Amino acid sequence: MIAILFIPVLYAGMFLWAFWDPYANMNDLPVAIVDLDNGAEMDGEQLALGKELSKKLIDSKQFDFMKVSKADAEKGLENEDYYVVIEIPENFSEHATTLLDAEPEKLTIVYKPNEGFNFLSAQIGETAMDRIRAEVNEQVASTYAEKLFDSITEMGNGFGEAADGAGELHDGAAKLSTGADELKGYLETLASSTVTLADGSQKLAQGANDAAKGANELNKGLGTLSKGSKDLLTGAQKASTGASGLKDAIAQYTEGVGQLTASYGQIAQKEKEFGGAVSKLNEKSAELNTAASQIAKGSTNLGAGIAQLSESLAPVLASLPEEQQEGLNAALNQVKQGSAELSGGMQQLTAGTGALSAGTGELNGAADQLAGAHNQALAGLQKLEGSSAALREGAGAIASGTGELSSGIAQLSEGITSAQKGSSDLATGLNSLTEGTGTLKTGTDTLASKSQELAEGSATLADGVVKLDEGTLTLKEKLAEANETASEVNPTDKTYGMVGAPVDVEKEGINHVPNYGTGFAPYFLSLGLFVGALLLSIVFPLVEPAIKPTGAFKWFASKVSVLAIVGLLQALIAAGIVKFALGMETINTPMFLLTAIITSYTFIALVQMCVSILSDAGRFVAILVLILQLTTSAGTFPLELIPAPLQIFNTLLPMTYSVQAFKGAISTGNMSFLWTNNGILIGFMVAFLAITFGYFAILYKKKFSKETVEA
């Protein structure tokens, strides 16, 4: 019976003693460290994170860390020399340098537990790995933070340089604003000039039309002149032939000399007028050729200027709304087309005026020759008229002069033919010029209209450039502020540590439980007291009376009184050893002892009921109840973590309430909660005792009352 008194303390005390504070001996748990890290270089500094981590783990003494080779670690893990192997890979430090890469690599620590050797050690190792990972994260993050703040400093310097650049950009924007204003003025001038150009092109078209008409008339006149020169040539040839018979017909010839002199006077007058007209024609054709060349050159320059203007305005057009872009582009295309047509017409005009100039030059030369021949003839006639004696000699001179006259007239005829051809080309070119000037007029009208729109758009451009100037000034100021702010960042080791571990967890729990033993005490005390009650039923007869009972109640009371004494001693011994021998802290020691007594009585009443009624089968039922209570009382894991079908039994069995009552007395100090659970235990106890008493009453009536009656 004495041994039975110590059964609860053997269960509860031994379990609690063994698991009182297992984490206090973690430094005896062998763990192997395999450092394969090759190190790496980061910004010119050598990183050896694996070596640093190994040293920090060994110095921490959280476990019995041992640095070994990979082969020894694997062999030791298989031979159960180590519970856990921590392997640091070769690229551990190298991965730490990939933060800014396109695909950064995480740092990996290989954790190898021997779960078959001891599962809980593996779980403890996982918890330790979480701490190690946090420490590595802090260390790496601190390193990153140091580099980050260095980059911030460099970035601040960059902000300063950018501010200087923004200042230059502001100066450039100011110049751009000035240029935009000038461009606006130029475009306004262009708009007004295109109006003048349109008016000039209209006058040019009218003049070209008039010139074409004059060229046609000139061509007709030159045709008539060509015919007359041919007749003159025929006459000269006849005169040359008749000169040989001049001597024989001297009398007749002398008589006709006067008439010939008069005729030559008229011819001289006409030749003089013809020569003046030809000279004037030659001058005008030269002027026309020069003007046409200048106009052609101007049209070419105009085309080049328009192309250059189009290229210069391309960035401006790109910044305008789409509708304005389409309008301005259409206007520029029309201007380009008109300029091209003008250039083509002026090239034809230049070619025609060149041909005309050449023809009039030849005509002028022929006229000079004709005038010279006529002068010579006139001089001869005057000599003939003045001296009949020299008539014969003059006749020879006439024969010679008429030969020269015939040659000069032939040249005159050829010049007139060339002039006629040139005037024909001139007429054709002027007709083409007339058509081109019409197209030019249409293009210049469109150019005038669109250049006005362009001038209006340049005003919008000028406003935008002003805003750009203001924006660059703001950018410069903000960059300067950013530079100043960045220069105020002066990180220290504490700053790096703050970045690496910005959050500290402050535990402010309630109802503090100092160790595993204290936390598991309600569960193991309940288990020990139940096992004590169960073993008590083996050594103490719960039904058979020592002597013949005189009544059912006395019989029942004789059994309960013994059980009560044993249960009281079991509870006090178990609770006392746990409290004073193991040093468990309790919020309310008297209530702790009272709860142990109530729990002991409740479990004894339960076992007494089962064994009294069912005998040995009752012990089996009690064991089943114990198993259900161990799994459903929430003494270890929270109730929500066990399977739902088992949760049903939680409120139906007394150990649930004994565990909660012990927690109230040991840790929480919630007296209301404590008394509620103790009250439920007392209710269970009373119910079990009542059922047992009923069984004793029935058994007594059935067994002993019949014997009394027979006696």
Residue 654 lies in a domain: yes
pLDDT at residue 293 tops 50: yes
pLDDT at residue 673 tops 90: yes
Question: Residue 8 has which token pair?
Answer: 């609860």
Helical H segments across 550-653, by residue range: 552-576, 589-614, 616-632, 644-647
* pLDDT attached to residue 22: 65
Same domain, 225 and 357: yes
Of 69-73, 322-326, 457-461, 588-592, highest mean pLDDT: 588-592
* pLDDT attached to residue 561: 94
Q: Of 99, 117, 135, which closes a domain?
A: 117
pLDDT band at 664 (very low <50, low <70, confident <90, very high): very high
Same domain, 527 and 433: no
* pLDDT attached to residue 532: 93
pLDDT at residue 500 tops 60: no
Decide: helix, strand or coil at residue 355.
helix
Under a CB-based contact definition with an 8 Å cutoff, are residues 111 and 129 in contact?
A: yes
Question: Which residues constitute the domain of residue 103?
Answer: 26-117
* Residue 501: partners with Cβ closer than 8 Å, 6 or more residues away: 134, 137, 138, 141
| Cα–Cα distance for residue pair 435/441, rounded to 1 Å | 10
Q: How many of the other CB atoms lie within 10 Å of CB of 46?
A: 9
User: Residue with structure tokens 């050690």?
Assistant: 121
* pLDDT attached to residue 478: 79
pLDDT band at 709 (very low <50, low <70, confident <90, very high): very low
Decide: helix, strand or coil at residue 596.
helix
The torsion angles phi and psi of 678, rounded to 5 degrees, stand at -65, -35
High-pLDDT (> 70) share of the chain, %: 65
Under a CB-based contact definition with an 8 Å cutoff, are residues 627 and 641 in contact?
A: no
Q: Of 81, 102, 117, which closes a domain?
A: 117
Residue 221 lies in a domain: yes
pLDDT at residue 306 tops 90: no
User: Residue with structure tokens 């030019």?
Assistant: 440
High-pLDDT (> 90) share of the chain, %: 21
pLDDT band at 579 (very low <50, low <70, confident <90, very high): very high
* pLDDT attached to residue 448: 66
Q: What total of structural domains would you count in the chain?
A: 3
Order of all β-strands in the sheet with 110-113 = 64-67, 30-35, 84-88, 110-113
* Residue 235 C-alpha from the chain's centroid: 99
Same domain, 403 and 544: no
Q: What is the CATH number of the domain that holds 431?
A: 1.20.1260
For the ranges 363-367, 460-464, 551-555, the lowest mean pLDDT is seen at 363-367
pLDDT at residue 540 tops 80: yes
pLDDT digits (tens, 9 = 90+) for 121-175: 666 767 767 777 776 676 667 666 666 666 677 676 776 777 787 778 778 777 7
Q: Of 90, 117, 144, which closes a domain?
A: 117
Question: Residue 352 has which token pair?
Answer: 């025609």
pLDDT band at 208 (very low <50, low <70, confident <90, very high): low
Same domain, 224 and 361: yes
Question: Residue 322 has which token pair?
Answer: 């789409």
Same domain, 266 and 354: yes
Residue 202 lies in a domain: no
pLDDT digits (tens, 9 = 90+) for 45-86: 888 888 888 888 898 888 889 999 999 999 988 888 888 899
pLDDT digits (tens, 9 = 90+) for 545-562: 878 888 889 999 999 999
Same domain, 520 and 404: no
Question: Residue 665 has which token pair?
Answer: 């007395």
Residue 632 lies in a domain: yes
Question: Residue 11 has which token pair?
Answer: 């269960």
| Cα–Cα distance for residue pair 623/150, rounded to 1 Å | 70
Residue 510 lies in a domain: no
* pLDDT attached to residue 64: 87
| Cα–Cα distance for residue pair 307/358, rounded to 1 Å | 35
pLDDT digits (tens, 9 = 90+) for 320-349: 777 777 776 777 687 677 667 767 765 775
| Cα–Cα distance for residue pair 129/140, rounded to 1 Å | 16
* Residue 706 C-alpha from the chain's centroid: 101
Which has more pLDDT, 564 or 296? 564
Same domain, 423 and 552: no
pLDDT averaged over every residue in the chain: 77
Question: Residue 588 has which token pair?
Answer: 């309310």
Same domain, 412 and 558: no
* pLDDT attached to residue 377: 58
| Cα–Cα distance for residue pair 209/202, rounded to 1 Å | 11
Same domain, 232 and 86: no
* pLDDT attached to residue 608: 96
Question: Residue 330 has which token pair?
Answer: 């259409």
User: Residue with structure tokens 């040139």?
Assistant: 422
Same domain, 259 and 354: yes
* pLDDT attached to residue 711: 44
Q: CB burial class (10 A; 0-12, 13-18, 19+) of residue 158?
A: middle
Question: Residue 648 has which token pair?
Answer: 């049903």
Residue 629 lies in a domain: yes
Mean pLDDT (whole number) for 338-364: 68
Residue 542 lies in a domain: yes
Same domain, 436 and 535: no
157 secondary structure, DSSP code: H
Task: Provide the β-strand partners of residue 113.
Answer: 84
Residue 484 lies in a domain: no
pLDDT digits (tens, 9 = 90+) for 627-656: 999 999 888 778 888 889 988 999 999 999
pLDDT band at 710 (very low <50, low <70, confident <90, very high): very low
Nearest to 399 by CA among 623, 604, 247: 247
Nearest to 329 by CA among 344, 343, 316, 342: 316
Of 241-255, 391-405, 439-453, 669-683, highest mean pLDDT: 669-683
Same domain, 301 and 434: yes
